[in-house]
Structure 1
Amino acid sequence: MIHRMKRLVAAAALVAFAGAASADPKLIEIASFGEHPALNEVAEGFKARMAELGYTEGKDVRYEFRHANFDRTLVPQLLQQVEAQHPDMIFAITTGLNQAAVRGITNKSIPIVFGAVVDPVVAGIVPDWQHGSAWSTGASMLPNFDASFDYLKQVMPGIKKVGTLFNPGEDNDTSNMELIQKAAAKAGLEIVAVPVDNANDLPQRVQSFAGKVDAIFLIQSNIVQTSVPVVAQVAQRIRLPLFNSVFAPDLKGQLAGFHAISYLKNGQHAADIADRILKGEKSADIAPYVPQTVDFESYVSPEGLAAVGLTVPDALKDSPWILK
């Protein structure tokens, strides 16, 4: 009798093991506002970190990537396609897409992890910085403009006025502008902010900085970041150094430097949160990730400075910030 029971237990264990082994991998839908090197890095960082955490692609998890080609009118259709796949999780990239997902995904049992969101509280994605919502939490890209201005003062000693561009219709940009104004006041700098809600207007808006600022620093704005080469071309023409909050090594000949949050690390931090949810934690119990000092990178481009008649300060000539 005892031997028979042992055989039954062993058989049941084998059945359970076979069922677990044959279980379909979890589907994570990655939805982005558009394809851009920085936003793609968020997705790449997410997938790479998930692999480090033990999720083998094709076995434990599979990914479907979709984007709206930076067209707001396509977002509802994109989200319908995502939800129709009945995913185990959605990884949504950018503030606007997450706002739309929170409203538009009707199946609230699907957890939404966000990436590339500056301020999820102001955007209405989570209730506060200590909690996620019932179905959403993730990794923020809250900037550190105090550090950015410390960086600018080292690259350009004597700097007084900084120009920036923003889209007044984007919550992401509104949050950035509030933070940058506060940091500028602490740093003794003046911000000259120029609104732009259409990419076609960028050349004219950048031109308006001529003679009014010492440098231009670009925030994490979708409308601006998708057109940085255009901004750089005009900035060089009016002889103004251009600095960016997004690192783009291919533009080092056109930009003077970068004080940038790592989009790759943002995706990695989002994956850490996704792992916790997949293991049973509730989104509401997971605080959004706030970037730390190690999440930012500083670079200076001698070539980009030279393009507008400037040189690297002596104090930085041996700095690890220098791009070769």
Structure 2
Amino acid sequence: MKKRIVAGMMVAMMAIGAVGCGNASSDSKKSSDTEYTIGIAQFAEHGSLDNCREGFLEGLKEEGIVEGENLTVLYDNAQTDTGTASTIADNYVSKKVDMICAIATPCAMSAYNSAMNTEIPVVYTAISDPVAAQLADDDGNSVGNITGTSDALPVKEQLEMIRELMPDAKKIGIIYTTSETNSVSTIETYKEYAPDYGFEIVETGINTIADVDMAAADMVSKVDCITNLTDNTVVSGLQTVLEHANQANIPVFGSEVEQVKNGCLAAAGIDYKKLGIQTGKMAAKILKGQAKASEMPFEKITDPSYYANTEVADKLGIDLPNTFTEKAEVFDTITVSEE
């Protein structure tokens, strides 16, 4: 019997609206002209996860599975609520979709639980630590009918970058959501490697997005800079963090391109569009019967991408060295995403 993941999730009482009708199929192989229905469950609405979703559909398209032609997509956003994520997954199972794509750890854990006793495969993306989330074993192999891609942050490269840009900095602040397994795991990685670069990690845990304001206001008085994780709740409140950091004249480092566009100084992070494309190609193999999710170890992007924002640097009075800007994608304006 497969082990059910326990993540402190209560079932949300709200009903998810009707969003189409899925076509059930238990066949292990499908012909090239088969039509598919995929339910995409996204945990939060922000740039990196949106890029994952767009990349996922692009990866499928490159493999001949195209929305509006032979693919029906059901899409729901949990708005950072784990109970809603569970309800969304249950809804997809009841509609007997051909696959669930789960974007971010809470949605992946919910989808795995909901689809456990069915033949519906789950493909996840934007999961920092599939092992810690109990979606893979210590060797990276699937624990069931589930696989996908990890957005594990290049922590060493991020610390090296911060040291290059801030040679005198001593304390790095990190705000994270205590209920997000991915964030808890990444915090431990930061603590492990920070001393190698002469840093001390100052952490503050929060429970909801309402806690971001107070946490950021307190954090900026204790640290030389803040580094942002792929924490969905904190990313959703990024402008609040940036507001306090700007008032204190300290930089915030991002974990991917959208955060840098929106006001973080720089990042050694993940290209979420590429990660989504990689996930879509994995999903296509499963849908076409070329592979089984249960037999596919999770994958990840091994090389970080570097980003910098010169408008932010100018406002903070920080000179970005050529050794960094030559390898980074550089933006010269701050573009705040619409809420």
What's the TM-score once normalised by structure 1's chain length?
0.86
Equivalences for residues 227-246 of structure 1 within 5 A: 227-246=237-256
Distance in structure 1 (CA, Å) of the matches to 2:67 and 2:77: 20
Partner of 2:73: 63
* 8 Å Cα contact 2:102-2:123 kept in structure 1: yes
Amino acid in the other structure paired with 1:264:
K
Query: Helix, strand or coil for the counterpart of 1:80?
Result: helix
Q: Give the C-alpha shift of residue 111 in structure 1.
A: 0.4
Partner of 2:315: 307
Distance in structure 2 (CA, Å) of the matches to 1:322 and 1:69: 30
Aligned CA-pair RMSD: 2.2
| Match status 1:121 vs 2:131 | yes
Distance in structure 2 (CA, Å) of the matches to 1:201 and 1:100: 24
Amino acid in the other structure paired with 2:155:
F
Aligned residue among 283, 303, 319 for 1:274: 283
Larger Rg: 1
Structure 2 CA distance for partners of 1:69 and 1:274, relative to 1, 3 Å: same
Aligned residue among 134, 137, 162 for 1:152: 162
Distance in structure 1 (CA, Å) of the matches to 2:174 and 2:301: 22
Give identity over the alignment, percent. 25
Q: Give the C-alpha shift of residue 107 in structure 1.
A: 4.2
Partner of 2:188: 178
Partner of 2:302: 292
Structure 2 CA distance for partners of 1:323 and 1:220, relative to 1, 3 Å: same
Query: Which has the larger helix fraction?
Result: 1
> What are structure 1's unaligned runs of at least 5 residues?
1-18
Q: Give the C-alpha shift of residue 266 in structure 1.
A: 1.5
Equivalences for residues 47-58 of structure 1 within 5 A: 47-58=57-68
Partner of 2:144: 134
Structure 2 CA distance for partners of 1:32 and 1:309, relative to 1, 3 Å: same
* 8 Å Cα contact 2:65-2:284 kept in structure 1: no
What's the TM-score once normalised by structure 2's chain length?
0.82
Query: Helix, strand or coil for the counterpart of 2:101?
Result: strand
Amino acid in the other structure paired with 2:47:
P
Q: Give the C-alpha shift of residue 188 in structure 1.
A: 2.5
Structure 2 CA distance for partners of 1:111 and 1:255, relative to 1, 3 Å: same
Distance in structure 1 (CA, Å) of the matches to 2:324 and 2:80: 38
Q: Give the C-alpha shift of residue 314 in structure 1.
A: 5.8
Q: Deviations over 1:62-86 (max 9, x none)?
A: 2221222222232232122211221
Partner of 1:12: none
Equivalences for residues 188-227 of structure 1 within 5 A: 188-227=198-237
Distance in structure 2 (CA, Å) of the matches to 1:299 and 1:249: 10
Query: Helix, strand or coil for the counterpart of 1:322?
Result: strand
Aligned residue among 248, 256, 265 for 2:274: 265
Structure 2 CA distance for partners of 1:153 and 1:102, relative to 1, 3 Å: same
Q: Deviations over 1:32-68 (max 9, x none)?
A: 1132222111110011111112223333332221222
Structure 2 CA distance for partners of 1:182 and 1:194, relative to 1, 3 Å: same
Query: Helix, strand or coil for the counterpart of 2:120?
Result: coil
